[in-house]
Amino acid sequence: MSSLLHDAAFLQDLRQQMLKFAVLQLSSLSLAEDAVQEALSSALQHVEQFAGRSALKTWVFAILKNKIIDILRHSKRIKSMSELFADDETELSIDALFDQHGHWQHDQAPQAWQSPETMMEQQDFWLVFDACLNHLPARYAQVFMLREMIELSSEEICQKLELSLSNFNVLMYRSRTRLRECLENKWLLQEDCSC
């Protein structure tokens, strides 16, 4: 498995995924490239410590996540929410999921999901998840990834992005709703159709 780190095609693909992830979090291509380079160098230097308890990509991304956390905690270069593009159309699409009483529209209500274990074992799920995450508006994806992937606290995110806790909660709710909707349309419904 660790031999993949010496496969040029695998490394190139992995590097591109890492760079995309890092740029979204750091809002700086140069900082992102530095973080990715350091993470890949660290992985190559410590490949013998990879025990195989997780996927190689997961292990390398954990190293990258730690590099990003270090940068976020020691840098003032995170863009404030006011600098990110406004996306008024997104606000409207979220509201369209609910009726005037705040209940789900009949055709928009959450569908029953497969068991989490089954879904996580299916590699295609993560490809669809990645595509759905990439289609979130930048500010939604940034807040979601800082909380769920980088695992910063709500307070740290609010401070870094100059958000109120209320605004943070709204952004998290909307990003989760959009991800759920995308996963249902692109993954769960496709699974039902293949039966």
Distance between CA atoms of 89 and 91, rounded to whole angstroms? 5
Q: Which residues pair with 98 in a beta bridge?
A: 104
Same domain, 8 and 37: yes
**Given its phi and psi angles, is residue 27 left (phi above 0), alpha (psi -120 to 50 degrees) or beta?**
left
Q: Is the pLDDT of residue 1 over 50?
A: no
The residue ranking higher by pLDDT, 168 or 184, is 168
Residue 140's pLDDT is what?
92
Q: Which residues pair with 104 in a beta bridge?
A: 98
Contact 116, 127 (CB under 8 A): no
Number of Cβ atoms within 10 Å of the Cβ of 134: 10
Which tens digit of pLDDT belongs to each residue from 108-119?
767 666 666 665
The residue ranking higher by pLDDT, 81 or 144, is 144
Give CA separation, 13 vs 7, 17, 57, 110, 171, in Å. Answer: 10, 6, 11, 33, 30
What values do phi and psi take at 113, rounded to 5? -100, 160
DSSP 21-69: HHHHHHS-HHHHHHHHHHHHHHHHHTGGG--SSS-HHHHHHHHHHHHHH
Distance between CA atoms of 78 and 188, rounded to whole angstroms? 35
Q: What is the CATH number of the domain that holds 42?
A: 1.10.1740
Same domain, 152 and 87: yes
Same domain, 89 and 52: no
Provide the number of structural domains found in the chain: 2
Same domain, 86 and 60: no
Give CA separation, 86 vs 2, 66, 68, 90, 142, in Å. Answer: 42, 29, 25, 9, 14
The residue ranking higher by pLDDT, 134 or 166, is 166
3-state helix, strand, coil in the chain (%, to 5): 70, 0, 25
Q: Is the pLDDT of residue 88 over 50?
A: no
Q: What is the CATH number of the domain that holds 195?
A: 1.10.10.10
Residue 24's pLDDT is what?
80
Max CA separation in the chain (angstroms): 58
Same domain, 74 and 84: no
Same domain, 50 and 101: no
Same domain, 74 and 122: no
Q: Which domain holds residue 71?
A: 1-78
Same domain, 133 and 163: yes
Predicted model pTM: 0.50
Distance between CA atoms of 46 and 59, rounded to whole angstroms? 11
Distance between CA atoms of 66 and 39, rounded to whole angstroms? 9
